């Protein structure tokens, strides 16, 4: 594929990250794991690991796997972008729900309380690495069991950290956010632009 101007490899399955980069005028190509790569195991948390430390460690691991993938496939050189988002309730890490019951439990725990959304971003180019962390606070309204059940039955929480998507129906429950809306979606605009500029991309 021929490229006009600079582009970035996005090593993420997330359609939301892809949409955000496109909105910002960043040209991208997906750099997704091979079928034999165990990408899920990279997301395992260590015992008593602090959420901020966890999300930065996982993002760095994802980046190294993506850089190795780029080299293995013999693709043209370009910056590689990775990100990971986690929801933290105190020191507790709320990752992607294992099933519907797990999603209902997470949402019940978040109901009426403030939690943090942490998104780490990392960019690699050649031997160089840049990383940043976005931390936001989100306050949910008190949710009824019926609201939670309907939301989970709709399928939106699956595959989402903390069992919700701010850009979906869960946005109706959010009383207040402090921080980065795009960071909560999964790719913080300000930090991502800083890293891509550092890697030589021309961004507004």
Return the pLDDT at 40: 77
**Contact between residue 107 and residue 37 where contact means Cβ atoms under 8 Å apart:** no
Asked if pLDDT for residue 10 goes beyond 70, the answer is yes
**Domain annotation covers residue 75:** yes
**Contact between residue 109 and residue 72 where contact means Cβ atoms under 8 Å apart:** no
**Domain annotation covers residue 120:** yes
**Domain annotation covers residue 1:** no
**Domain annotation covers residue 204:** no
Residue 1 pLDDT level (bands cut at 50, 70, 90)? very low
Range of the domain at 62: 8-198
Return the pLDDT at 4: 57
Residue 79 pLDDT level (bands cut at 50, 70, 90)? very high
> What mean pLDDT is predicted for residues 180-193?
96
**Domain annotation covers residue 29:** yes
**Domain annotation covers residue 132:** yes
Residue 163: Cβ-neighbour burial (10 angstroms; 0-12, 13-18, 19+): buried
Count other Cβ atoms within 10 Å, centred on residue 48: 6
**Domain annotation covers residue 3:** no
> What mean pLDDT is predicted for residues 10-14?
94
Asked if pLDDT for residue 3 goes beyond 80, the answer is no
Return the pLDDT at 173: 95
Q: Give the list of residues 6+ apart from residue 154 with CB closer than 8 angstroms, or none.
A: 169
**Domain annotation covers residue 40:** yes
Residue 34 pLDDT level (bands cut at 50, 70, 90)? confident
Q: What is the CATH number of the domain that holds 193?
A: 3.90.950.10
> What mean pLDDT is predicted for residues 26-40?
89
> What mean pLDDT is predicted for residues 156-182?
95
Q: Give how many domains the chain has, as a whole number.
A: 1
What's the predicted TM-score (pTM) here?
Answer: 0.92
Residues marked as catalytic: 84
């Amino acid at each position: 594929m021929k490229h006009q101007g600079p582009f970035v490899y996005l090593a993420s399955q997330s359609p939301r990250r892809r949409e955000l980069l496109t909105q910002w005028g960043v040209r991208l190509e997906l750099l997704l794991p091979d079928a034999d790569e165990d990408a899920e195991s990279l997301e395992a948390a260590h015992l008593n690991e602090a959420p901020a430390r966890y999300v930065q460690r996982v993002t760095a691991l994802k980046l190294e796997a993506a850089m190795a993938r780029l080299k293995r496939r013999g693709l043209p050189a370009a910056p590689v972008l990775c990100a990971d988002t986690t929801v933290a309730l105190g020191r507790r890490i709320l990752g992607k729900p294992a099933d519907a019951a797990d999603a209902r439990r997470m949402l019940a725990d978040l109901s009426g309380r403030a939690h943090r959304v942490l998104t780490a971003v990392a960019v690699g180019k050649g031997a160089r690495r840049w990383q940043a962390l976005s931390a936001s606070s989100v306050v949910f309204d008190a949710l009824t069991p019926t609201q939670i059940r309907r939301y989970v039955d709709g399928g939106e929480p699956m595959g989402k950290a903390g069992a919700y998507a701010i850009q979906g129906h869960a946005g109706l429950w959010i009383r207040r956010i402090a921080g980065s809306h795009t960071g909560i979606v999964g790719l913080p605009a300000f930090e991502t632009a800083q890293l891509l500029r550092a890697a030589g991309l021309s961004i507004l």
